[in-house]
Chains A and B, each alone.
Chain A
Amino acid sequence: MCSGRVSPHFVLKAFQKGADGVIIAACHLGECHYQKGNYLTAKRVDVLRDMLKFVGIGEDRLRLEYIATSESDKLSRSFTSFTEQIRTIGPSPIKRKEFARG
């Protein structure tokens, strides 16, 4: 799916469902098949990260990486480093019992 299709809603839904982190893999800037999908994503991610920081979920739980379809090693490296990063930060605070509904 084009990274331009990754609506901020999807990211927020993932966090609501209990995701500890969300990584978006996009094509390199300038290489968008649809010309500007990844530029738009880059901007949305910046704004989303600022929002996550402001409400205390943490900006580091959301990452955007530019990975071409041929760059399997970069894909693997990015996911590994992101997983490690999330392990260091710990589980998403949204899941805490004190924040449960009701």
Chain B
Amino acid sequence: MDRLREGIRDALTEGPVAGVMGLILDGGHPRPHLFTKGRIEDLDRLVVGEARYPLAAVLLKVLRNDLDAHLGIVARGCDERAILELVRNVQLNGERVVVFGVACSSEQASACQCPQPYPSSHLSGERVAPVSDSEGLDRLDRLSEEERLQYWMDQFGKCIKCYGCRNICPMCFCTTCTLDEDDLIQTGTIPPEKPIFHLIRAFHMAERCIDCGLCEAACPSGIPLRTLYKKMRNVVTTRFGFTPGITKEGKGPLQYLGDGKFGEQEGH
């Protein structure tokens, strides 16, 4: 933690970084905060821990107002995956975002069922093993098609259309959203049309989802959204050898022709 604070302090006072997005303890509660040189004493209240926010999405909001700003972010494994994916999708300038890594504890990793509970380098914490959580997905894959249909229609039927899954998602960076499109989905009415509301979002997650699980944590109805999106993520990995959140370069397979899937014919 001291190394993390020192790293951020150095970057703010001596480096080119104008601000660092992290969590600050405010009235006993952690919340996102932009630490700046002008208020360096705020760093005493910097926290990392149980609280989870889509920090990359908050950083993106700040950067949308000032595209050239040089900012940093206190990032867990999931936050770093989000940053990489946002850079790959040309939403953030990778050269202007500095990552101050935090490795999660084994308790956090198992609470989040995290596939990679650490960023590429870290100033705080120790690397612990990823937690495999394919159980829910395996169970569903073993069911019959009819059973899966019943299961998902029941789950989608719980939706109160709060848009929480979209609003918390660090990958939902679009400024206009399909789910607000009246020609596609009735807006202003509840419950949402099922299954289209959830399937559209699921399709969009296919080459974007970084498996952070914030959607499922935010859902007030307890819909197993992460399982659905994880499936879509797996589909894209299996079919195209692409997994979101690993690289900051290249186009996703669904936006791009030349991934070799069609062999010789490709590139015509």
Q: Known: A15-B196, A43-B240, A46-B239. Is A58-B153 also a contact (CB below 8 A)? A: no
Residues in chain B near residue A15, CB distance under 8 A: 196
In the complex, B266 has a CB within 8 A of chain A: yes
Query: Is there contact, CB below 8 Å, between A56 and B146?
Result: yes
* Tally of chain B residues near chain A (CB < 8 A): 40
Q: Give a binary string over B179-216; 1 marks a CB under 8 Å from any A CB, 0 the rest.
A: 00000100000010111100110110010000000000
Please determine whether B150 and A56 come into contact, CB atoms closer than 8 angstroms. Answer: yes
Known: A12-B196, A30-B268, A43-B261. A57 touches B202 (CB 8 A): no
Contact between A56 and B152, CB atoms less than 8 A apart: yes
* B235 near A47: Cβ-Cβ < 8 Å: yes
Partner of B203, one of A39, A40, A48: A48
B253 is an interface residue with CB less than 8 A from chain A: yes
Please give, as numbers and ranges, the residues of chain A lying within 8 Å of B149 by CB-CB distance.
Answer: 55-57, 93
User: From residue A75, how far is it (CB to closest CB) to chain B in Å?
Assistant: 22
Q: B262 to A47, Cβ gap below 8 A?
A: no
Contact assessment for B195 and A55 in the assembled complex, using a CB-CB cutoff below 8 Å:
yes
Q: Which B residue's beta carbon lies closest to that of A55?
A: B152
Whether B232 and A47, one on each chain, are in contact in the complex, defined by CB atoms closer than 8 angstroms, is: yes
Contacts of A50 on B, CB cut-off 8 Å? 231, 235, 239
CA distance A29 to B146 in the complex (A): 34
Tell me the count of chain A residues lying within 8 A, CB to CB, of chain B: 32
Instruction: Say yes or no: A101-B151 contact (C-beta < 8 A), given A47-B206, A54-B231, A56-B146.
Output: no
| Interface SS of chain B | helix
Residues of chain B within 8 A of A44, CB atoms compared: 254
Is B178 in the interface zone, CB < 8 Å from A?
yes
Question: Contacting B254 at CB < 8 Å: which of A35, A43, A94?
Answer: A43
A16-B193, A51-B202 known; A40+B153 contact, CB < 8 A:
no
B171 to chain A, nearest CB (A): 16
Which of B140, B239, B254 has a CB less than 8 Å from the CB of A54? B140
Find the A residue at minimum CB distance from B199: A12
Which of B194, B239, B257 lies in contact with A47, CB distance below 8 A? Answer: B239
Q: Which residues from chain B sit less than 8 Å from chain A, CB to CB?
A: 140-141, 145-153, 157, 178, 184, 191, 193-196, 199-200, 202-203, 206, 228, 231-232, 235-236, 239-240, 253-255, 257, 261-262, 265-266, 268
